[in-house]
Structures are given as C-alpha cells and as structure tokens.
Structure 1
Amino acid sequence: MSEFSHIDASGNAVMVDVSSKMDTVRKAIAKGKVLLNEKTFKMLQQQALPKGDAFAAAKLAGIMGAKETHRLIPLCHPLALSYVDVRFSIDESNFTIEVEAEARTTGKTGVEMEALIAVQIAAATIYDMCKAVQKDVIISDCRLVYKEGGKSGIFKAE
C-alpha cells in the first residue's frame, strides 16, 4: 500500500475513494490580496478602468472558477456546490483589495479547493482588468482561513 493518498501501490495516480464517507455539510472560506498602485486603485474604485467594472467581472469569474475546480486540479472530486460567493474588501491606505471566497456543499469531501480557486481566479481577473493601466499588480497571500464539516471538524486560521 502506498503512503500517498493519490498514488496506488504500483505508483499510479488515483482519485481518493470517498464512497464510504458520510455526507456532511461542508464550508470553506479562503482569502487573498491584490496590491495596486494608487492610480490603478482609484480608477478601479471609480469604475474608470478601460476594460470596465473589475469587481463585477472578478466576482463572476471566481464563482465560475469554483464550479470548474475539478477540471483544473488533477484528481479533485467534482462537487455539487450549493453556494459560492466572492466578496471584496477595500484597504484604501495600502491600495489593496482583499478577495474572500466562500464555498458550501453537502457531500463526502470538502470544498477547500473550490474556495481557493475562486479567490485565485477572481484575483487574476482583477489583474486582467487592470493590466492596461498597471503591469506590476501583485497577487499575494492566498490561503484557507476557515473550513468546517467532515471528520476533521473546524479549522480556523489565526
């Protein structure tokens, strides 16, 4: 038997078998940051970017990304998501956008990857919407901050 959950005894890639697990309500929240310069930040706030409303595009892109996670991450289980949201917080003093994504399902495996992908796709979409004005946008600090459900219970980042 292999020590790795995604590799069998012969060294082949395998999807983890979750068929014996109980369905539970699962929830995950992830966060990340997008750092802009002052000019770009103000244009984004005023919806004056050449490509349009970055927040609207990023919210939709993040939700769509969460729904496609199993297509992007090898061996990730396709999940019937019951809820996905992408939210933005503005830090005017540091010209930073905090991206937060929440994903929920009732199932046999967690939604951490879906929340993480939603943050990353939303952040990349903000970059795409801003790149005509600023090429050195920084995307940083993407991480899981909360999860619940399943046998491991609740995780809360400090």
Structure 2
Amino acid sequence: MNRTKLIKFICLIIGIAIGVLVSLYFYYKERDPHNQYFKPVSAKEYEESYGIQFRQEHYYDCDTTSIATTRKEIKGVVTKPQTAYKISYYVLADKYGEDYANKAQPFKLSLINGKVWKIISKDTSAIVYIQKKDARILKLTKYDKIK
C-alpha cells in the first residue's frame, strides 16, 4: 500500500511539473508572437527595461550569423574609400586642428584584409586605422617630423 501511494505522489508531482511547463510556454508565446526570445537590443532599451545604467561589461558583440539574431549579416558601415577619407579628415581636425588636417591632405588609403582602412597623410606624419564593419577608430598615430 505504501508503494501505491508513493507512485501516485510521484505521478502527481510529474503532472504538476508538466502543467507548469506547458502554461509557461503558452504564456511566453502570447507575450512574444514572433518567437523572438533572444533579440539584440540597444543600450537605451537595456537601460529602460532593466532600470540600470549601461556599462561596458553589460554589452557584448553578437555574431550576426547566430540563431539568436534576425538581422542579415552587415557588410560594413565604411564601405567606400571616400567615407574613410572624410572620417580620417574629421578625426585629425578634431584632434590636432583643422590647419593640420588640411596640410596632411591628400591621404593615401588602403584596405587591410578587407576589414580595416589604413589612411596615411601625404607626408606620413599621421596614420589612422578605421574598422570597416562599424567605423570604429582603432588607432590614431601622429609622428613629429624632424626638420
């Protein structure tokens, strides 16, 4: 008789667990009709939804080809050399002044491994590296020329 009660109790616990799992499935399915349980969010959406201030350790770069994202693969933000040219001009003008940026023109541009733009000033006194994917300034170097 004890064995029968134990089997009934175990069946009751398993039934409750299955019921909870099924109800959670339908609850979340109604809240997210497009079945996007995992979707990339901006830092502003993150702050608003969790009520905490955005910090770098909360951010991660997601792989755009992963199953969790619905976006197509990004070819790059800085796809044209003219864009890289303008970005490097404004970076140099902001950092070292507009006079220096004007004297450093024309720039020599090259694309390294299809991922990074390398922009060199005409007298090779400044080099700017810009990431093609997201226009991030990877490195800015200025050399003082000895006269």
Q: Higher relative contact order by CA 8 Å / sep ≥ 6: 1 or 2?
A: 1
More strand by share: 1
Answer whether TM exceeds 0.5 for this pair: no
Name the TM tier (shorter chain). Answer: 0.3 to 0.5
Select the structure of larger CA radius of gyration.
Answer: 2
More helix by share: 2
